[in-house]
């Protein structure tokens, strides 16, 4: 005798929502889209979601989610559904770990990019270098931790592939070699002044971005100390610090990573003062900058309301002063050369 079991007959049109172990998921919810018609359906305590019987046999787009706070991934599909069909919500997995230096100390404020199936997501880490990535399906995930943008000449990057659900993942970024600088004669209590570092010689075997001319900045602490992550032990750097409030500067060439900090002097700079002529009325914005082609430097100056300007604490050598002003939609520019510093009574004509 043959026994035929017919499914999807007249009666309630239900889907049963279960987890990966086959247990019903109470409180699941479904969003059902049919053409331009959209409805939200709450599941019962037995994991059953009851659909409109008029939709039986129709192609539907259905999104089913677990109850709020449940570690379950949503289900989404566009197809026809059979009454009594089981819809499995996979468990959401977490990856947790930290970014560390080789000595086990945390690497603060690193950036983490996690990639799965070609989709990349970026997060910024805290000062402890810890991370926790939730809501992941099973499968491999590529983690890439970076210290600074890859285009920067002090970038550090490490990549690791782990399985979703992994805990205590450690990504190790080698911070060596270090270039440390101590500025002798640094004014007491002065902090957060930028130190500009530019690559003069990158060294062999380095990747993209490691090219002469690349520049970064780092804040100097109140004791005149600053630290950089160097490209390599063979890299050479130029360091420039401009301290106009104290009419001083630091300019040192071909510094390389070393086991001890480099002691560099704070030097007394010179000044350039004068006036901008032809300053328009009702000016909205104005500025003046000094450029040195020999030193490959740019230094900002100050302009007051009377069109008087000053550029303080610059190294010796010829300079070019470039001024600009904006009044409404019109822009004015002026330029003049200064052969030696200090220099006073300079006139820059705006046109």
pLDDT per residue as tens digits for the range 109-138: 888 999 988 888 999 888 788 999 999 999
Among 132-141, 223-232, 272-281, the least confident range: 223-232
Residue 351 CB neighbour total at 10 angstroms: 8
Asked if the structure places residue 226 within a domain, the reply is: yes
Structure confidence at residue 232 (pLDDT): 73
| Beta carbons within 8 Å of 230's beta carbon, 6+ residues apart | 154, 177, 178, 179, 237, 256, 257
- How many folded domains does the chain comprise? 4
H-helix or E-strand spanning residue 272? strand 270-277
Query: Using CA atoms, how far apart are residues 179 and 260, in angstroms rounded to an integer?
Result: 9
Query: Which pLDDT score, from 0 to 100, does residue 5 have?
Result: 42
For residue 6, tell me if it sits in a domain.
no
CATH no. for residue 52?
2.60.40.10
Does 144 lie in the same domain as 196? Answer: no
Distance between CA atoms of residues 111 and 79, nearest Å: 40
Are residues 101 and 148 both part of a single domain? yes
pTM of the model: 0.57
Instruction: Please write the tens of the pLDDT for every residue from 4-61.
Output: 444 555 578 999 999 999 999 999 999 999 999 999 999 999 999 999 888 888 999 9
Of the two residues 305 and 156, the one the predictor is more confident about is 305
Has residue 123 been placed in a domain?
Answer: yes
Are residues 158 and 172 in contact, defined by beta-carbon separation less than 8 angstroms?
Answer: yes
User: Are 121 and 84 in contact, with CB atoms under 8 Å apart?
Assistant: no
Q: How confident is the model at residue 205 (pLDDT cuts 50, 70, 90)?
A: very low
Task: Output 255 or 346, whichever has higher pLDDT.
Answer: 346
Q: Is 98 a domain residue? A: yes
Residue numbers of the domain that contains 143: 93-172
185 and 251 co-located in one domain: yes
Final residue of a structural domain among 115, 147, 172: 172
């Amino acid at each position: 005798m043959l026994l035929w079991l017919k499914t999807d007959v007249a009666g309630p049109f239900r889907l049963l929502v279960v987890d990966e172990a086959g247990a019903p998921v109470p409180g699941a919810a479904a969003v059902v889209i049919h053409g331009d018609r959209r409805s939200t359906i709450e599941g019962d305590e037995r994991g059953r979601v009851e659909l409109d019987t008029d939709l039986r046999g129709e192609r539907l787009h259905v999104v089913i989610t677990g109850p709020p706070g449940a570690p379950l991934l949503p289900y989404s599909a566009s197809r026809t559904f059979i009454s009594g069909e089981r819809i499995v919500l996979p468990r959401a997995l977490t990856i947790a770990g930290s970014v560390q230096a080789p000595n086990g100390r945390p690497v603060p404020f690193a950036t983490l990019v996690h990639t799965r199936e070609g989709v990349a997501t970026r997060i910024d880490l805290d000062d402890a270098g810890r991370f926790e990535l939730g809501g992941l399906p099973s499968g491999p995930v590529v983690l890439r931790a970076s210290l600074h943008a890859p285009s920067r000449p002090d970038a550090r990057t490490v990549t690791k592939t782990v399985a979703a659900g992994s805990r205590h993942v450690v990504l190790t970024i080698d911070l060596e070699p270090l270039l440390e600088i101590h500025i002798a004669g640094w004014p007491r209590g002065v902090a957060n002044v930028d130190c500009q570092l530019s690559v003069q010689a990158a060294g062999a075997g380095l990747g993209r971005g490691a090219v002469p001319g690349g520049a970064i900045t780092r804040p100097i602490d109140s004791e005149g100390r600053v630290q950089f992550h160097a490209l390599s032990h063979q890299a050479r750097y130029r360091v420039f610090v401009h301290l106009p409030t104290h009419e001083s500067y630091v300019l040192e060439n071909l510094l390389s990573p070393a086991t001890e900090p480099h002691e560099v002097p704070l030097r007394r700079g010179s000044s350039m003062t004068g006036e901008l002529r032809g300053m328009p009325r009702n000016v909205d914005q104005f500025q003046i900058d000094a450029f040195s082609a020999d030193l490959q430097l740019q230094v900002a100056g100050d302009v007051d309301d009377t069109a008087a300007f000053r550029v303080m604490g610059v190294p010796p050598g010829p300079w070019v002063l470039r001024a600009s002003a904006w009044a409404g939609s019109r822009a004015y520019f002026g330029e003049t050369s200064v052969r030696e510093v200090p220099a006073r009574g300079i006139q820059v004509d705006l046109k």
